[in-house]
Structure 1
Amino acid sequence: MGINLADQDKNTLRTAAYGAVSLMAAAGAAGSPHKVATQGSIALASATGPIGYVLAEKSRIKGLNGKSVAELADHVLPALTEAMSVLRKQDPAEADNFRGTVLVALDAGTRTDKNADSPVMTDMTRKITEALDAA
């Protein structure tokens, strides 16, 4: 089964994936947020399959400039759940691909950060994973 995503669905996927990386960067602000964001974004750009094509599309992602981690989380965590819901309905394998891609991006981002094992980063990873699994 292939996937047929509307433009709004594609925007949700990009918001969810790049937003997850942004959340990790914001949560790790005491370390090197730019390194987290850079490595996480490189990992997302390395995605394959239909998800890789969606994440590679050049478009402005709105809502990732929150004034606080809480504001960013209020936008990104529901987008993660919605993205998984949309994908599970169309192609469960692509939902798994998306989930795996996001988690690899988080891992890539946090491996570069000196606070990778901090309780804050661990907690944000848990929240993101729960949002992915809530669908």
Structure 2
Amino acid sequence: MSITISLTDQDHSTLRTAAYGAVSLMAASGAPHKGITQASIVLTSATGLVGHVLAAKSKDIHLQGKSVAELADQVLPALTAATRLLGEQDPREADNFRGTVLIAVEAAAGPRKGEPSLAAAAMARKITAALDAA
């Protein structure tokens, strides 16, 4: 059985803002540059509908703010909204989105040697909570 998902341009923007915003939050919380690069690769390597949306060339990601708090005010609700809107249409794609973002966050947190910084670990927990709030 095939499920057809219908997403608006605004939905696509929400998904991209949420996913790329999560990586931006990790960068703003002090995650290492190499980890941020790996996280971006995770997002561009996604599959399924989520992969198509994240890989599309677009200028609809508008993350603004002068502080981590202002960035989080945009990204965390977008993560919840993206997971919710996918979950309403196809729970598998919601799981795909959640898994992709969590792998990107894990990659951003840094190399396997040692623990991520406390700030990056705290941000990863906030991102996870936003994904789970849907």
Q: Match for residue 47 of structure 2? A: 48
> Quick check: 1:106 aligned with 2:109?
no
* Match of residue 85 from structure 1: 84
Q: Any idea what SS the aligned residue of 1:55 has?
A: helix
What TM-score comes out, normalization by structure 2 length? 0.90
Which residue pairs with 2:67 in the alignment? 68
Q: CA–CA distance in 2 between the matches of 1:57 and 1:120?
A: 31
Structure 1: gaps (5+ residues): none
1:27–1:124: 8 Å Cα contact kept in structure 2?
Answer: yes
Runs of 4 or more, structure 1, over 6 Å off, are none
Give RMSD over aligned pairs. 1.8
Q: Is the 8 A contact 1:20 1:102 kept in 2?
A: yes
Q: Which residue of 2 aligns with 1:12?
A: 14
Distance 1:111 1:95 in 2: 25
Q: Give the TM-score normalised by structure 1.
A: 0.90
Distance 2:77 2:55 in 1: 21
Change (3 A) 1:115 1:21: farther
